[in-house]
Chain A
Amino acid sequence: MPSFPPALVLSLGALLIPFLRGPLRKLYLLALPIVSFAALLATPQGSSFDYEAFGHTLTLMQVDKTSLLFGYVFHFAAFVGVLYALHVKDTTQQVSAVIYAGMALGAVFAGDLITFWLFWEGLAFSSVFLILARRQADSNRAAMHYLLVQIVSGLLLLVGIALYMHGHDGATAMARLTPSGSGHSIFNLDWAGPGVWLIFLGLGIKCAWPLLHSWVTVGYPAATATGAVFLSAFTTKCAVYALVRLFPGTEELIWIGVGMAGFPIFYAVIENDLRRVLCYSMINQIGFMVVGVGIGTELALNGAMAHAFCDIIFKGLLFMTMGAVLFRTGRMNGSDLGGLHRTMPWTAAFCAIGAASISAFPLFSAFISKSLIMIAAAREGYHLVWLVLLFAAAGVLEHAGIKIPFFAFFAHDSGLRPKEAPRNMLAAMAISGLACIGLGSFPDLLYRHLPYAIPDYALPYTWPHVIQQTQLLVWSALAVGTLMLLRFYPPELRSVNLDADWWYRKATRAFVAFGQGPLMRIFGWLSKAVHETIPTGLRYFARNPGGAVRLAFDRVALGWAGLFRGMPAVDAAQERLREDQARFAETTPGAAWPISTTVLYTAVVFLVFLLVVLA
């Protein structure tokens, strides 16, 4: 197998999909990630595939242990995802999903910021079709919301990169922007500046930082049953990868990560849509990774990457089980489901495996990755951080470990008797389930691919760690069980829970009481500006710019003249203004530009030039 960038194997290979039919197409879909993986294995370490383009060297492949780790797991996710979606006949979804996987691989192997940005945009534009493919009014709206946020992220990144290059003699290497070591502040002007801040913020949006996260919780639950599986794997993890690459040891990340790990779980408890619960839980898990990046020691970075690796697999598994339920029943609300283990026992079992993995039970995958981050936080003496993470780890069990399987497959009997998931879905879930158990039971499978060695004190299978973790989880489960027995547990209710997206949807007073009044008002104002005022204003203005300026001027002038209301001249002028405004609405755009005007402008412009050249 000659070496070739996997990103191109997938994204170019995807273009052939529409031309294949029937079983051949299925075979081809399954072969694509395998061929691409072989191409990756054939690529030597170091940089390759350099292209000279618009005056910069674009490096398509920067292969080292960090990028390889993400490359492996992205291939795994792509293969499992394709297998899971094998029954889908919608060409749009197939093509966009494969391109999307290719873009993710491109971003991870990008050797310079510009290449990274190109693939970053590709991620946004290819993935939105997985939401649009649902072809419903509300999912279309969610897709637009999703795309808009993604575009903003891309723009911030682009401007950030341009500013950064401008300040660093055109440096574009995809390498750490922070100085070596850890404990750097993003506000330290020695290494950071506006360019770096914009890059940071652009990554933050795709990483679903607090208040910037609503595109996840709006977009992913609106995706198709199979689309959400792909979405859960790539976009946010690319952002985590980029943080590992560019911002290791940035102290602010610790607190951002703590917020991500600690806050969304409250929403997860009361959310009804089970895939949205998974989204909140995903933000919670990414929070752990972000904390790891922020701590920035070798162990912490290892932990962040290992956790990303495991998370892609078990979160994918959970999204797959929920996708199967959605596919078979057409329902995703906890209040409509329940009792499905009768007819979907395999799906229920795989869901339990996913739940055990995300909750970090011993022998399951998160057990061997989350602990690295916890230990790194403890060793660096971040006491409060450690306590919040421990609380978040208990909370994961509550919402992802118990709530998801319980309300979907057990709980009260909804009466639904759907068929078991199709065989291809079961096969995909089985592969992921096995991977979760395999990684959890044999941690060295993962550890030896991490960029740094794992020290002895961080090895997961020690008696204290196993017992303490079991204790934490069992007692958390006990708490939930007890609350349920006492009828204290909040029931699943059909409802909408306001979230940060509410900022830019509606404004009420509740959050003012939360002490974020000014911020909310700015967001509300921005939202109105983006969605209504600016487009309407632009269209109004563009009808006849000259006229619009004149009207605005008249309005201001007459506003002052309003002090002398009652004077006949002023009243007449105001009447004229009203007439002008009424007429303006009927102006044919751009028509008010007769040829005499052009001649006049010519004379004026020439006069200006004459003055300029003869002065």
Chain B
Amino acid sequence: MISYRFQFLITLVGLFNLVFSAGDASLVNSTFNSTIGSVEYYDLTNISYTSGETKTFYFDVTYFYASPDGFNRTVVGLNNTWPCPDIHVNRGDRVLIYVTNKLPDQNTSLHVHGLFQHGSAQFDGPEMINQCPIPPNETMLYNFTVPDQAGAFWYHSHTKGQYGDGFRGAFIIHDDTDTEVWDYDEEVVLTISEWYHTLSGVLDKSFLNVNNPTGAEPIPDNLLFNDTFNSTWQVQPNTTYLVRIINIGAFVSQYLYMEDHVFTVVEVDGVRVEPNVTDVLYITVAQRYTVLITTKSDDSQNYAFVQGVDEGMLDVPGTFSHNVTNQIVYNADAARAGDYIIESDDYDILDDFYLQPLNKEILYDDYDYQIEVNVTMNNLGNGVNYAFFNNITFTPPKVPILNTVLSAGENATNPIVYGTNTNSFVLKKDEIVQIVLNNQDTGTHPFHLHGHTFQAVIRGPDYSDEADPIPYDSSNFTSDVNDYPMMRDTFYVRPQSYFVVRFKANNPGVWFFHCHIEWHLSQGLAIVLIEDPEGIQSDSRQQLSDDYKRVCEKQGISLTGNAANNSVDYFDLTGENVQVAPLPDGFTARGIVAMVFSCLAGVLGIGAIALYGLSDIKNIEAKVAQDLDLNIEEVEEADENSSVTEIESSGPNSKK
């Protein structure tokens, strides 16, 4: 299926307007089946920039119907088809993508995940951060180069949960040295994701809802494998495949396991690493693993390729299959492989923290600037469950951050102009930045930084069983730190634990840092890094394109101004978007009124009971006597003897 998928894509070229202006610089790179190279030290960062070709793509974002798992639903596709095509370019190419929003009822945007976007922050994609959302019937050209990166990337909408509806695909950057570094015969792309049967907009409404106070994420309906279900991968014996595995999902991490085969990991998130052999891969959404898979010489049998969901991320198990067995088919006539279930305890699962980049970039020995953030999830005054970095849930500003950077002049270095509710941090040029992230939530979260790969310095163990989250303690720094730390752009933190990452602020731009679980992003789990704002202002490439300006104009969004859309006084944030007020802490005025009234009612009620009860007490003796039918006369006579005066005072009518 994978190989088929790839060939299918070739046919897409003509069909779906994937026009290559550079002529026949073919999508099917001839190097794919080229000769075998040897694994050797290779430093990507020192590659001289090659002047590549220009590759142009036309993305008409359209609704389409698709049933990848047998259930027909509306999807967001490209050029009236779905799945979205894989994009293949070469390192050094200029990429032009014309995105036309043909969805009648929602905005769109495009983000190519993992690209550095040097000098082209305006084409990074996140709406209201790097651009204005593209309204219906509007086109925006994304124009960028890929000079210094190669490997597996992917593209997706950065508008709300839109990519969960299907607007996502692989974006592979090939490099001339691929075949020198790795020994493989054929290259294939393998995307995995979870899949819903309901449109994300509908799910989002019930997710961010007072009736979902725990913020329970919607449960997927299936797991997809190359956008199909229970797939088949036709393989040749004695062949080594370079497989680009990309989790293009929006929520769950997945385990991948092959019966009697192993993965040799050679690249993660566009960073080549020392080969590492493993049985099981654990891939969060947005992560990529390029692996070598060598097939057997015996083609008499077929094998299982199992994908399993990380059940710890599901609020409730739901009704979908948590383990999907796909087929590695050597022999179509042989029996299919039996179903497999991944029990994560049974296998040696790759811990990406210990991977080592091939370029052996040494750990930054110290940092200049530290951002420490605490992840929490909580309810605000409207009863909706939100996600917070340092008690701030990201609330989009009225003007995209990039517009503010470019219009604020010298004030751009002051984070206040980006608003109080955007969690914005301003970074100085070339400083070493350390992000310390304390996960006070009980879930696993994959965090993604735009515009960079970062060094994974520390990742704490799973503290699920602790009563309270364990924050990062800088005094433990030396333990378990790698000299050549693993680098990637999407890194997960374990439950109630922490991680520490470092990067050099050498890429001026506005970069979003957020949880890549779309549900959590919609809950506001994001911060914004404004890197070298003066460097952005002074770079002619960073000036806004005509398309960009027109899109903003169509949306009625200002090109200048602070977060509150104030272009006069950048420090006046009156009217900025802010998060919902918190739930009241304890008693409010109405609570006190309710309490006072209830207490009063109780006291008055008891008073009424007492008054009624005691009003009976008059001539009680006589009543009791009568009631009990005691021989009262005799008793009283006995009493009278002892209290003569009373009898006398009771007058002549008293008893004899």
Q: Do A and B come from one complex?
A: no
Residues of B within 8 A of A (CB): none
